[in-house]
């Protein structure tokens, strides 16, 4: 079996999706499965749909095109505002897109007219994350202009938290966002189909005792894929945290070499020195490095120490080990490590668990308890 590779348990992704869908459903909130961390991998995306996700979303047109090439015909939303240069491709591959710029929406409208379609527009509102979005005071005016355009239709509004700022939303912010939905409907008349209240960082808010107001959608990627809440990194009760495993092969196993005295001409280079190898009697070098993943996002085996990494070598120290050259070492990954590993050209993706299906219908079972632990 080739290395490095990512082993993906599709059944755990499906069950994670089922868990959040069943828990959020009674609160009137649907789940959109976000596929950007897995580069729009068709089987992983289908596992989300099999678990009850109402649709899929991605930030890159190439990933959406990958899904379409695999035969996926359901609704897919582009959740990063489109590039002007990709307006035609967005209209051809996505039912709707999140937007912040009128010039881009105009280009989407023109592309939609040329192709005989109506492209859905969801307006992204800036409410504190400081990444992207329309200021609340400008939202109504932009919504009115979208309503006057041919080729596009205003489908809803959305908000984002904890991506750039790393700060989870407050109940007050979410109430203000719901008020904006009411305001837009008062100005533009038709009801909004989508009021998307954020991403995986919004799960604690969505699962709390309070009312969730107008929010009827959450965009979930990290929670489904890794079973954790992004801001705290806490495990979400009832969710699998090991759906993805990164496997690397040892290419050298030897005693730790003695340190070489180094005269540091520039004191600032002190920070570049490797960690101490005190207590480490041997080291293993694996055929994987910074070019493959975020090394600091890997779970180092218990009892071992991360000595360092280069572009294509990962060096781990261990007090004792029965491993040898050719042995495999397994790692769990955080979200950043997963994203980079899935995009790395030299890492194979191996699918495990139940194969994806296309169910004719879904039944709602008993609601499972879901809590952050």
- The full set of domain ranges for the chain reads 10-226, 244-352
d(CA 224, CA 22): 13
Residue 273 — very low, low, confident or very high, per pLDDT cuts 50/70/90?
very low
Distances (CA, A) of 194 to 40, 208, 315: 22, 21, 48
Tell me which of 135 and 280 has the higher pLDDT: 135
Q: Identify the sign of the CA torsion 259, 263, 266, 267.
A: positive
Q: What pLDDT is recorded for position 62?
A: 97
pLDDT for residue 271 is more than 50: no
Look at residue 278 and tell me whether its pLDDT is greater than 90: no
Of 185-199, 220-234, 323-337, 354-368, give the lowest mean pLDDT range.
Answer: 354-368
Region 350-357 average pLDDT: 80
Mean pLDDT check: name the lowest of 24-28, 75-79, 296-300, 318-322.
Answer: 318-322
Architecture of domain 244-352: Beta Barrel (2.40)
Res 370: pLDDT: 42
- pLDDT (tens digit per residue) in 3-17: 999 999 999 999 999
| Angle in degrees, 0-180, between the axes of helices 136-147 and 102-115, rounded to the nearest 10 | 20
pLDDT at 183 over 70: yes
The CA distance from 157 to 192, in Å, is 8
pLDDT at residue 161 greater than cutoff 90: no
Average pLDDT (279-295) is 90
Please, what is the average pLDDT of the chain?
88
> Does the pLDDT of residue 368 top 50, yes or no?
no
pLDDT of res. 362? 34
What is the tens place of the pLDDT at every residue in 71-106? 999 899 999 999 999 999 999 999 999 999 999 999
The domain made up of 10-226 has a fold known as TIM Barrel (3.20.20)
Average pLDDT of the segment spanning 302-321: 90
Q: Within 13 Å of residue 50, how many CA atoms lie on the same side as its CB?
A: 19
Please give the full DSSP string across 38-96, using - where no structure is assigned: GTT-HHHHHHHHHTT-SEEEES-HHHHHHHHHTT--S-EEE-SPPPGGGHHHHHHH-SE
Mind listing the pLDDT tens digit for each residue in 18-69?
A: 999 999 999 999 999 999 999 999 999 999 999 999 999 999 999 999 999 9
């Amino acid at each position: 079996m080739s290395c490095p590779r990512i082993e993906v348990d599709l059944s755990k992704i499906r069950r994670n999706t089922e868990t959040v869908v069943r828990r959020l459903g009674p609160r009137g909130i649907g789940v959109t499965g976000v596929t950007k961390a897995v580069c729009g991998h068709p089987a992983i995306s289908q596992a989300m749909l099999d678990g009850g996700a109402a649709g899929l979303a991605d930030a890159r047109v190439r990933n959406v095109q990958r899904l379409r090439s695999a035969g996926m015909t359901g609704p897919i939303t582009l959740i990063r505002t489109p590039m002007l240069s990709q307006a035609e491709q967005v209209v051809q591959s996505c039912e709707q897109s999140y937007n912040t710029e009128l010039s881009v929406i105009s280009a989407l409208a023109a592309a939609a007219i040329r192709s005989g379609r109506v492209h859905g527009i969801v307006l992204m509102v800036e409410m504190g994350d400081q990444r992207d979005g329309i200021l609340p005071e400008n939202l109504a005016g932009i919504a009115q202009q979208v309503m006057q355009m041919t080729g596009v239709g205003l489908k809803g509004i959305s908000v984002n938290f904890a991506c750039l700022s790393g700060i989870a939303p407050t109940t007050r912010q979410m109430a203000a966002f719901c008020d904006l939905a009411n305001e837009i409907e008062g100005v533009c008349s038709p009801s909004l189909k989508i009021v998307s209240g954020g991403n995986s960082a919004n799960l604690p808010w969505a699962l709390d005792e309070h009312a969730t107001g107008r929010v009827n959608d959450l965009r979930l990627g990290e929670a489904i894929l890794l079973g954790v809440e992004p801001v705290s990194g806490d495990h979400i009760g009832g969710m699998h945290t090991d759906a993805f495993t990164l496997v690397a092969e040892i290419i050298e196993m030897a005693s730790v070499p003695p340190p070489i005295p180094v005269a540091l001409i520039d004191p600032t280079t002190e920070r570049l020195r490797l960690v101490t190898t005190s207590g480490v009697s041997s080291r293993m070098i694996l055929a994987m490095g910074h070019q493959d993943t975020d090394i600091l996002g890997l779970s180092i085996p218990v009892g071992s120490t991360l000595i360092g990494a280069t572009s294509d070598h990962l060096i781990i120290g261990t007090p004792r080990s029965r491993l040898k050259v050719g042995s495999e070492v397994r790692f769990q990954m955080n979200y950043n490590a997963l994203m980079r590993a899935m995009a790395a050209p030299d890492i194979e993706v191996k699918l495990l668990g139940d194969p994806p299906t296309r169910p004719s219908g879904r039944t709602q079972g008993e609601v499972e308890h879901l809590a952050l632990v």
